[in-house]
Amino acid sequence: MAEPPVDGPGGEVAAREPLCAAAELSERGKAHVWDVLQWGRPARAFALRFDGNVVAYLNRCAHVPTEMDWQPGEFLDSDRRWILCSIHGASYEPRDGRCVGGPCGRGRLTAIRVEEEGAQVYWYPSRDIRPVPFDEPVPGSPR
């Protein structure tokens, strides 16, 4: 019988998932977007590189729970300084997902733990955010 997953300090389960090649994420460039299940429901997440580090969040604005990218994978403002929601202009600090302006108030993005090792980026599923089972289409997913 398989061992149950062990929760980490941030609610991560033990097994990490490969996400993308490290080279895919250029500094303040386009994000890697992928499908996840949050509480068993389809959602999307994104990872981008900022000041050399890879950060990842659920693609869901703290103002209204909707996706934020203005083009697929494009989350940063024209100065490449803030994560900017394309709906009403909420701005977030890319380093920690905290709201820094606009209608997101004291909200923040839901962070996903990622790790870069060698040429590969990995993400850590949690109790709430899980990978989409292999070969299983995400219900309602447009992509």
Contact residues toward ligand FES (CB under 6 A) are 61, 63-64, 66, 68, 85, 87-90, 102-103
- Shortest approach of ligand FES to residue 66 CB, angstroms? 5
- Shortest approach of ligand FES to residue 38 CB, angstroms? 17
16 vs 108, beta carbon nearer ligand FES: 108
85 vs 121, beta carbon nearer ligand FES: 85
76 vs 90, beta carbon nearer ligand FES: 90
Kindly compute the dihedral angle of the four CA atoms of residues 38, 127, 109, 65, in this order, to the nearest 10 degrees.
30
38 vs 120, beta carbon nearer ligand FES: 38
Closest CA to 104 of 55, 77, 64, 45: 64
Closest CA to 129 of 10, 39, 17: 39
- Shortest approach of ligand FES to residue 112 CB, angstroms? 18
